[in-house]
Each structure stands twice: as C-alpha cells, then as structure tokens.
Amino acid sequence: MGKITSKGEEFFLKNDQGQLEFTLLAEGVRKLGLLWVLIQNGTLLNGSVLLWDEPETNLNPKLMRTVVEILVELQRMGVQIFITTHNYSILKEFDLQTGPEDKVLFHSLFKNEKASDIECNSCKRYSDVLPNAIDDAFGGFVDREIDKSMGGLGK
C-alpha cells in the first residue's frame, strides 16, 4: 500500500507510484491511512476512545478483515472502541476474530412497541443479539436465493 507522510497539515501516500495527496485517494484507503496515523502518532493508546461510524463504508470488502484485526488488537491494548454499522459482514468478522478474553459487546437498539421506549440489548456474541434486524435482512437474502435456485419448489 505505501507509507503515510505529512507536510504541514496535508497528508500523502508515498508508494511505488510516487507521492499522492490524500484527497486523490479512495475513501477506504484514506480511512486506513488515518487509522495508521492515529496509531503512529500515539493518539490511540491505552485509555483512549475511538468512535467510528460505519467503518465498512467505501472500504473494499477484502480489507474488512484487516480493519477488524486492527480494531480488535487496539481493544486488546486498552483502546475503547465504539463502532456503528448496519453491515452483517463486519459484525460477523468481529464475532469470528474475538474470544472470551476480549471486551467486545454487540448492542441492538430497538423500539419497545408496548411502552414506546427505545431499549438496548447487549451481548458478548453476535449470535445472541436479539432483536437483530441485520441478521433478519441477511437471512431473507439467503431464503430468497434458495427459493430462486429451486425454482419456487418450496412454495
């Protein structure tokens, strides 16, 4: 990929192709570059907090595993991380890469129809999240794919 450098307040990616301004890079590459800068300059240390809204947005799906690996390691170093997502793949990646010693929680925010309140269900494993609109939607894709491939035989 290359090395992130800075001149003044501008960031650049230096690689085999030369020195490219951050503004010319793909959004996903910029995200990874910024994460690298935060790690290198000591911003993300034990006791610090990282808030990241939908880290998978504009990210090549092949890089999701790497991003999760980095975030899990940062968590193990004592960085408190809050991410929001609607993406099944990144949630499942966290589920696959974390173990019982990791301090990872999955939260589901939902409206209690009886009380009209917003509630939160928190779990250590993704498979325990209920209600789970993301899993329901993903499962719906799988069901429809099976139905389509079987030519509607199950109806």
CA distances in angstroms from 11 to 8, 30, 37, 52, listed in the order given:
8, 9, 9, 20
* Averaged pLDDT of the chain: 88
Same domain, 4 and 34: yes
Between CA 154 and CA 79 the distance in angstroms is 49
User: Is the model more confident about 9 or about 71?
Assistant: 71
Same domain, 77 and 59: yes
Looking at the structure, tell me whether residues 50 and 100 fall in a common domain: yes
pLDDT tens-digit readout, 9-61: 777 778 887 887 877 777 887 888 889 889 988 999 999 999 999 999 988 88
Under 8 Å between Cβ of 45 and 79: yes
| Higher local confidence (pLDDT), 1 or 146 | 146
Domain housing 76: 45-104
Whole-model pTM: value is: 0.80
Q: Among 71, 88, 104, give the residue marking a domain's end.
A: 104
Q: How many domains does the chain have?
A: 3
Cα 44–8–17 angle (5° rounding)? 85
Specify whether 29 is located in the same domain as 54: no
